[in-house]
Structure 1
Amino acid sequence: MRNKRMFVLMIVFIIFVAVMGFSIGDRKKLTWPENFALDTSGFFQQWLYRPAGYVSDLVHDLTHLREVYKENEQLRIAAAAYARDSIKYNFMEAELKQLQDDLSFTENQKKLNNYKYLIAQVVAVNNDPYDETIRINLGSKDGIKPNMVVVTNKGLVGLTTRVDPFFSSVMPITKLNVNSTDTKQIAATVLGKENDSFGIVDNYDSETGKLSMSKISEHDPLKKGDTVITSGKGNVFPRGVVIGTVDSSQVGDFGLTYTATITPAADFDHLTEVFVVQTPDLGDETP
């Protein structure tokens, strides 16, 4: 009943204000009851308008906040996709560069010597000092035989030893030991001085990470920075394979010949791809 009365009063008040508005017309001066009525209606309108404005602003802010949240979600998704694609691109770019280097290496080697290069993936590395071997994913089914030279596009890695149908073991040159009967010494020379330089690479020092080259003539023009390659003598290592660079040279134990310290060219800590060298005298064709 009370609500009904309030409603009736509000209707009467609104009608009263409207009638006053029409009655005022073009008059410039208002009576004090008319001023009071207008001020009172303005007061109530002010208190009704402000909360409505606050509510409207709050709804607008909440709507805007929701849109910002959606935009942030989309940006996070885009950033994650970019990071993923960037990693994928960098990996593919590195892989493409590696393949280009491998292709360039094999093409250049074909121009120098009539060798064939079978690319292989390193599947395992055994760092046991008593049985240090490298396992590759090529075997007898691919034409691999024992004592075939294995290289990277940087330099000599070693020789194949045990050959299975689909995999092979490689003995790295880091196992070279002058006191071991199993060591296959490497006849070596200097690139560009093949007719004037000769020596034997026959030992590896695990503490220094260097190879030793012995039986060097005192008249040998070998010097620091020279590139040491296989000479092809001995019918084990084909000629022209890079072994490393000369680090230093010194007089041998008996003063008759010189020895040299060589930094290996191949990076044995990061072996992922290698090449098995097929020489013409092995008589095998690439499958």
Structure 2
Amino acid sequence: MSAIFRLMRNKRLFILMIGLIVFIALMGFTLGRTRLTWPEKFVNDAFGAVQGVLYRPVGAVADFFHDLGRLSDVYKENEQFRQTVAQYTQDQIRFNMLEARNKELEELLGFTERQKNMDNYRYLAAQVVGSTSNPYEKTITVNLGSKNGIKPDMAVRTSDGLVGLVSKVKNFTSTVTLITNLDPSSSKGTPVSATFLSKPDSFGIIEYDEETKTLLMSKIEEKDKPADGDTVITSGLGSLFPKGIIIGTVRTSQVGDFGLTYTAAIEPAAKFEHLRDVFIIVVPEVDEP
């Protein structure tokens, strides 16, 4: 039995030696040749096919990760683009707001220059910083006070028309009572004397009707019968308001006071619901003789 195992082991060794001799012979036989035998071709083709099969999935995986990297770069570029667009939009909004504000201030400046050529009044531009919600006390607060030369009883207007009168002054702010709260029949305020632009010699008193919520011009003489659309301005007589400030236009009129005078409903020129910038009128002081 042991002899058989030894023989088998010897046979394995013998076969291994024969295979080695054949391999060496083949190597020696193929050395220096440019053409391959069909077994060599078969081995090469088989190896190439296996290599191709293995290379394609590996290449696909590599391409996949490469594409993922490119997608990440594209996402970052898109994110930067979105941020740039958002910043541009915000800058455009700021630019439009600044442009509109500059245009508004230029118009206001143009107004003051025109008015300076018409009279000797000085106009201090102020911003509205507050208003009352009390319907019985219609006032606004502006950002100029005694430190800016503001005094009580100075008239206030916008570029459109008359707004009111300074009633209280602090160091850095002032309270302005609106003309809709200047009631000539009580101690709440000071009446506004007015005239028609087309009839400089006419006269009337501006008051506010709480019941109808309407600005009225009363005590108009019969000879100065108002017409719809007439422009009403301050007369500068008997009141603290400088002359020539637009108050509004006549909307309707009717006979009053026993048929001897007229009363006109006035459409205010100033937009009281949208007060942002106003002018405080500084009238030159006249030296007494």
TM-score, normalising length: structure 1: 0.80
Pick from 239, 249, 253: which aligns with 2:253?
249
* Residues 233 and 245, structure 2, Cα contact 8 Å, conserved in 1: yes
Matched, 1:123 2:129: yes
Matched, 1:149 2:155: yes
* Residues 137 and 167, structure 1, Cα contact 8 Å, conserved in 2: yes
1:96-151 CA-to-partner distances (Å, cap 9, x unmatched) read 11210111111111122210111222222112123332222222332222211011
Matched, 1:67 2:78: no
Partner of 1:198: 203
* Residues 207 and 216, structure 2, Cα contact 8 Å, conserved in 1: yes
For residue 206 of structure 1, report the CA deviation from its aligned partner: 7.3
For residue 75 of structure 1, report the CA deviation from its aligned partner: 1.0
What pairs up with 1:63-212 in 2 under 5 angstroms? 63-177=69-183, 179-195=185-201, 197-205=202-210, 208=213, 210-212=214-216
* Residues 145 and 160, structure 1, Cα contact 8 Å, conserved in 2: yes
Pick from 230, 235, 239: which aligns with 2:234?
230
Q: What one-letter code is carried by the residue in structure 1 that aligns with 2:107?
A: D
Taking only the aligned residue pairs, the percentage that are identical comes to: 50
Q: Distance in 2 between matches of 1:177 and 1:51?
A: 94
* Residues 238 and 279, structure 1, Cα contact 8 Å, conserved in 2: yes
Pick from 47, 62, 74: which aligns with 1:56?
62
Q: Please give the secondary structure, in 1, of the residue aligned with 2:124.
A: strand
Q: Distance in 1 between matches of 2:190 and 2:41?
A: 118
RMSD: 2.8
For residue 157 of structure 1, report the CA deviation from its aligned partner: 0.8
Partner of 2:280: 276
Q: Distance in 2 between matches of 1:39 and 1:165?
A: 101
Runs of 4+ residues deviating >6 angstroms: none
For residue 204 of structure 1, report the CA deviation from its aligned partner: 4.2
For residue 217 of structure 1, report the CA deviation from its aligned partner: 2.9
Q: Distance in 2 between matches of 1:24 and 1:245?
A: 113
How many residue pairs match? The answer is 261
Partner of 2:6: none
Partner of 2:3: none
Q: Distance in 2 between matches of 1:207 and 1:50?
A: 90
Q: Distance in 1 between matches of 2:64 and 2:264?
A: 83
Higher deviation after alignment, 271-280 or 83-92 = 83-92
* Residues 196 and 232, structure 2, Cα contact 8 Å, conserved in 1: yes
Q: Distance in 2 between matches of 1:172 and 1:198?
A: 21
Q: Distance in 2 between matches of 1:247 and 1:135?
A: 29
Partner of 1:24: 35
1:174-205 CA-to-partner distances (Å, cap 9, x unmatched) read 2133543333221112224324x432211244
